[in-house]
Amino acid sequence: MVSFRSLFNQAVTTRFRFIIGYGIIIALLMIVIGADISNTPNGLSQVELDQAVTSSQMSLNTSFDWAINGTYNFIQKLSIDAFGLSRLSLVIPSLIFGIATVMLFTLTMRHWFRDSVSVVSTAIFATSIPFISMLRSGTPEIM
């Protein structure tokens, strides 16, 4: 009869090690991103407020700024319309683009290097302070 310990050792050391690794990365990223995102010590910065105004007044006829940050502004306008003006609605586009960036980074690392290097490099990238700072801001810096 197979014991739990041998099954656990086999799962961790062979078949499921990369699935477990990516699961841990996703869990850490969600914890770091979601940790008290609605509360900030000083509220919204002036840049975030300006970005909210730009997104809420977005139209194709105003200027050519929409060509550069148009996707971000459109998603932010949709989130402001759906959830009202709040910290979370301003950050939703950054979260979407940040998660997409982590997935593309992971796929690129898996293409260039072995899977073990990919897991470690994605964990380092996803938990780096500059990336998390851009992810938690309500501005198009993430792009």
Alpha carbons within 13 A on the beta-carbon side of 34: 7
What's residue 38's pLDDT?
A: 54
What's residue 22's pLDDT?
A: 78
Closest by CA to 33, choosing from 94, 105, 109, 107, is 94
Q: Read off the pLDDT of residues 76-124 as tens digits, 9 standing for 90 and up.
A: 888 888 888 777 788 888 888 888 888 899 889 889 988 888 888 888 8
Question: Does residue 26 carry a pLDDT above 60?
Answer: yes
Q: DSSP state, 13?
A: I
Residues 14, 140: Cα–Cα separation, whole Å: 41
Question: Does residue 5 carry a pLDDT above 60?
Answer: yes
Q: Collect all residues with Cβ–Cβ distance below 8 Å to 119 and sequence separation of at least 6.
A: 18, 21, 22, 25
What's residue 81's pLDDT?
A: 84
Closest by CA to 36, choosing from 113, 99, 88, is 88
Q: What pTM did the predictor assign? A: 0.66
What's residue 108's pLDDT?
A: 92
